[in-house]
Chains A and B, each alone.
Chain A
Amino acid sequence: MTDAQTAHAGAVPLVRARARSDLRLVLVLGGAALVLVAAGPYVLPTYMVNSLIRAFLYAAAALTVDILWGYTGILTFGQSAFFGIGAYAAGLIFTHLGFSPGHAALALVVGVAGAMIVAAVVGWLSFYQGASPLYASVVSLVLPIVVAQLLYSGGTFTGSSSGLSGFESFDIAIETWFWIAGAFLVTLTAGAWIFVRSDAGRVLVAIRENEARCEYLGINVSRVKILLLVVCAAIGAGAGYAFACVQMVVAPEYAGFVFGTELVIWVALGGRGTLIGPVLGTLVIDVSTSYLSGNLPFVWKLIIGLTFVVVIVAIPQGLLPLIKGAVDRVRGRGKSDPTEPPPTLQSVAAEPYAGLAEAGPHALQIKGVRKHFGSLRVLEGIEFTAMRGELLSLVGPNGAGKTTLMRCIADGNERTGGVILVNGHDIQRLPPYDCVAFGVGRKFQTATVFETLTIAESLRIARTRRALPSFRARAATLDVPEAALKVIQATGLEDMLHVEARHLSHGQKQALELAMVLALEPSVLLLDEPTAGLTKPERMLIGQILVELASKHSLCILLVEHDLDFVREISSRVIVLHQGRLVLDGTVGEVVESELVRTIYSGGAHAPTAARA
């Protein structure tokens, strides 16, 4: 494939160029911010310098909340707990062991490591597979309550409700602290910005949009969330540590959930999912609070509360996007102008069996599978074997159990009983992303895509298992298996790579999802109504692609379809399900001509041993 090689060689400088352009923007803006920080102590009054140091550190914590909530969709009230752990690590060690460079380093290590351990435990508790987002928020609320209560009950060791104060700390001037805190915030924001805009950062948004789809693309969502929480905890603890060093006072309120909810409020007001919004929002609100709350303490808090409620109800995206939108309108710039070209797609040869131990010709073995919902028997006694290279259609009236069977093959936890082997591996009770590792790729019945991600970004996410995305940049080229590329080209999506998925028609979303699943390079392909919503020529092309995948690449394809003509044209074998049982398994000819199938479809037959109460 010399074309691809030359294209790739030519593409390499593009990758560097792309990363550079983003980096350039960050360097320029970051540099400007650093200049402002440097000038700060000389220009601003001392009171504001003091307030700003605190605000910088709060903003760092707010940044972590935005990454967790705004980008990944995890509403957390608990980042304050990590801030408090970092602060108290410093406070406790400096109070009880005294201050020295060694102790300072120890306190930092203890604070950050402690926060990371707690985050790992909290993550294990909240992010298990199938957890509801409400439960994660609940746990994030419980955490700071527990930490604060432990601090309150610590007696003289932790200082109880008055906290610890008067301990010795770094002998640094206030101006220097201002520079340190400011530089910390600017660097952190710059780093977070680069990460969030990179290919890896898009995974966070994908998780927020559609966790299930991510799991079925082989992404271990729980692990990603736990890792993210651990990193954010470390950052929060670092900010807390700095805070304790500057203020030389620590109190349980800094670890409590009131502070935790304040962080969420600042992020919501500033603009969730924008990074800059929460940072600016925190700075503005916190400094204003320190000025105004002396004079009108309760009224100010009331105003913040009212603004918060109004924003949540009426302006959920926050104030920064609102302002930015107004500015854009004034400048005449439309919202849909693409800011940069999407990556170029490159065809690669698929290797569906790479990494799979030699498994023999049996792609799929279903033995005695059943699925019950209480007394309702959705599947009963399903038994069949599918070989590599077979194109197997599952037909049957609505409610026969076809989609349920697909789900059981792709998710080890779904079935009630029976054994399923994929490429010789028993899927046991393994979650979807582990089944993807065995070679399963599943396309859902209703088009399940990432609404706010572009087509190119969606394909990139689909390639995550095969090629780890960059944490720094957006690649200029995207390797896509031939079959997926053909689907994209045939359905006209190639010209719409920069379009967000929510603007696509129903049929286009189906095509996108199919391409995403093909991009996984699966060896067992489960397609639930892949042609629904597609036109006749598109349908024919998909059919051709599927036949080629089965015959040339030895994929095993399992297809659920209502279009009996499509089934007749491309299948090598048909299985008929009716009321949860396998009633017929044979060649296309046998099944289509069968009297039984005809009666089933015209609403006639009643499966002989159907088990309905």
Chain B
Amino acid sequence: MAQVLDIITTAAIFFAVGAGLLIVFGVMKIINFAHGGFITVGGYSALAVTNLGLNPWLSLLFAFVIGAVCGMIIERLVVRPLYSRPLDAILATWGLGIIIGQVITLAFGREVQFVQSPVTGAVDLLGTSYSQYRLILVLAAIVLALVLAAILNGTRLGLVTRAVIMNESLARGLGINSGLVRFATFSLGAGLASLAGAFITPLSSVDPNMGVPWLVNAFMLVMVSGVSLVSLAIACLVLGGAQVLVSTYGNPVLGGLTIVLLAALILRFRPQGFSRE
């Protein structure tokens, strides 16, 4: 039972981390390699809140805002000029990730530090005792998924975004300012990454390179999901579950590689991954 919960919570965490990357990929057709940097920003925002002695829940809001603001600046300065050069956009955003890491190191130091968890303790669930915080994470991921789905499918803003995802030049010809949609999407994606970073730091720790392994896994999950939040959820469950199983019954090192290897193989034989087309 604990294992099932492990799989679910792992999937939820990956979903939270990957959702922002997926939306950016869908609208802008590029992989934002600074995503890891934004996760780190979120983690350190939580650290700052802890150090200031404020309510740990505040770190979530703080992280989201800071992440979104960083996203806005980066979209304007770096991503927009690279619209027509997607491989170069990957490189530039990777460079940005390095810059963010170095700035954080200069500001906070290189050591591993710890963040106060807003909720501690375990809860008895269906026979096993399980970390309360992890269960809250699952709830948060579900809420996130529902909110995103509601916005995308229920609001006019969502419709406009989906139009830009499907056919940007047609959308422009109909009067949609796609530049603004891209700007908003990137900022939202950055904010979500930062939020996810703040969410996950109480589970382990913060260090300037914490975002990198998350980036790689999130990246593979997004590649395997096409442009669908539903596919992402499925991918997170399947591949995240595989990671948990391999780590438990096999080798933890191999477990860390599971998502990455499986995703590469899946894409080789089914380029659209888990998505329906």
Using a CB–CB distance below 8 Å, which chain A residues touch chain B? 75, 125, 128, 130-135, 137-139, 141-142, 145-146, 149-150, 152-153, 261, 264-265, 268, 298-299, 301-302, 304-306, 308-309, 312-314, 316
Contact = CB atoms under 8 A, between A and B. Distances in A.
B98 A305 contact: yes
Contacts of B87: 75, 133-134, 137
Contacts of A146: 257, 260-261
Contacts of A128: 268
B94 to A, nearest CB: 6
- The 3 A-B pairs with the shortest beta carbon distances in the complex, nearest first, are A153-B253, A302-B102, A305-B98
Interface of B: 31, 77-78, 81-82, 85-88, 90-92, 94-96, 98-99, 102-103, 105-106, 216, 219-220, 223, 251, 253-254, 256-257, 260-261, 264, 267-268, 271
Contacts of B91: 75, 264, 268, 308, 312
A313 B99 CA distance: 15
A313 B92 contact: yes
Contacts of B92: 308-309, 312-313
Contacts of B99: 302, 305-306, 309
Contacts of A145: 216, 257, 260
A265 B106 contact: no
A141 B31 contact: no
Contacts of A268: 91
A265 B268 CA distance: 27
30 contacts: A75-B87, A125-B268, A128-B268, A134-B31, A134-B223, A135-B267, A138-B219, A138-B267, A141-B216, A142-B220, A142-B264, A145-B260, A146-B257, A146-B260, A149-B253, A153-B251, A153-B253, A153-B254, A265-B95, A268-B91, A299-B102, A301-B98, A302-B99, A302-B103, A305-B96, A305-B99, A306-B95, A309-B78, A309-B92, A309-B96
Listed residue (A137, A138, A265, A301) with the most chain B CB atoms within 10 angstroms of its CB: A138
A553 B57 CA distance: 81
Given A138-B220, A261-B94, A305-B102, A132 B271 contact: yes
A101 B111 CA distance: 44
A440 to B, nearest CB: 26
B95 A305 contact: yes
A297 to B, nearest CB: 9
A134 B102 contact: no
Nearest to B268: A125
Given A265-B95, A309-B96, A298 B105 contact: yes
A190 B4 CA distance: 59
A125 B96 contact: no
A138 B78 contact: no
A146 B257 CA distance: 7
Nearest to A258: B212
A120 B223 CA distance: 23
A316 B264 contact: no
A309 B105 CA distance: 19
A139 B264 contact: yes
B82 A313 contact: yes
B233 to A, nearest CB: 21
Listed residue (B78, B95, B251, B254) with the most chain A CB atoms within 10 angstroms of its CB: B95
Contacts of A308: 91-92, 95, 98
A142 B268 CA distance: 13
A312 B88 contact: yes
Contacts of B261: 142, 146
Nearest to B105: A298
A125 B253 contact: no
Contacts of B216: 141, 145
A302 B257 contact: no
B118 to A, nearest CB: 31
A316 B271 contact: no
Contact of A313 (B31, B78, B102): B78
Given A149-B257, A309-B78, A316 B88 contact: yes
A149 to B, nearest CB: 5
A151 to B, nearest CB: 10
Nearest to A304: B98
Contacts of A299: 102, 106
B260 A142 contact: yes
A394 B105 CA distance: 66
A254 B66 CA distance: 35
Contacts of A265: 95
Listed residue (B102, B251, B271) with the most chain A CB atoms within 10 angstroms of its CB: B102
Contacts of A125: 264, 268
A264 B92 CA distance: 11
A41 to B, nearest CB: 34
B39 to A, nearest CB: 17
B253 A312 contact: no
Nearest to B252: A153
A131 B85 CA distance: 18
A304 B106 CA distance: 15
A309 B268 contact: no
B267 A313 contact: no
